Amino acid sequence: MSFRGSYIDLDFHLLDGPGEGFIDFSDAVFSGCRVVVSNPHGSAADVLNFKRATFRNGASVEIKGGWESGVIDFGGATLLDAKFDLTSLYLDGGDLGFVGASFNGANVYFSNAHFRSGQADFTKADFARGRVDFSHAQFHPGVARFAYANYGEAEVIFEDVEGEKPAGVPPAKWLPAVRNPPDDEAAYSTS
């Protein structure tokens, strides 16, 4: 199914994932609408192509559920005055790509996302303005990468994260979760 180059200002919902196949939104403009993609059963997603798409005028994108396979590609996309909600996303074998994407005024939330296996690629992403929040996310080795990403004026947050720091994330931004040791005061009691 192709929406390539379309101007989309109506809400679009894929509540059981895109199903088998290829849905092409490349070069589309999303303006003031809501796009919801949910994969509650973790089934195959095949391909959702948002390459070079533009999200503006308060457009909202929500991606939820478990992704065991398939590709969701925002490569080269421009995220202007938009909101992306990928909170609690569970990537377990699928591919999520933001290669060369421009985060320019959007609010993007990956809080509590779990990058277990597959690939989450932010190579050459331009975090120019806005907020990109990875708070409480879990990163397994080799799954996410931020190689050659540009950390401009955007507020990019990696607070209370767990796992291995992905390549390309500046050490000063990486703030792992602090776990309190067990309370063993009773073991040291002399009474």
Say whether pLDDT at 18 is over 70.
no
Position 1 in a domain: no
Domain that holds residue 48: 7-177
- Residue 139 maps to a domain: yes
Collect all residues with Cβ–Cβ distance below 8 Å to 72 and sequence separation of at least 6. 37, 45, 47, 48, 50, 63, 94, 95, 96, 97
Instruction: Give me the amino acid identity at 66.
Output: G
Whether residue 154 is contained in a domain is answered as yes
In a domain, 21, yes or no: yes
- In contact, 74 and 80? CB cutoff 8 Å: no
- The per-residue pLDDT for 51 is 97
Number of folded domains in the chain?
1
> Side chain identity at 67, as an amino acid letter?
W
Among 12-16, 91-95, 133-137, 175-179, the least confident range: 12-16
Is 191 among the domain residues?
A: no
HSE of 139, CA atoms in CB hemisphere, 13 A: 28
> By mean pLDDT, which of 41-45, 87-91, 101-105, 122-126 is the weakest?
41-45
- 93 located within any domain: yes
Q: Is residue 182 part of a domain?
A: no
Q: pLDDT per residue over 67-117, tens digit each?
A: 888 889 999 999 999 999 999 889 888 899 999 999 999 999 999 999 999
In a domain, residue 133? The reply is yes
Q: Are strands 102-109 and 126-133 parallel, antiparallel or unpaired?
A: parallel
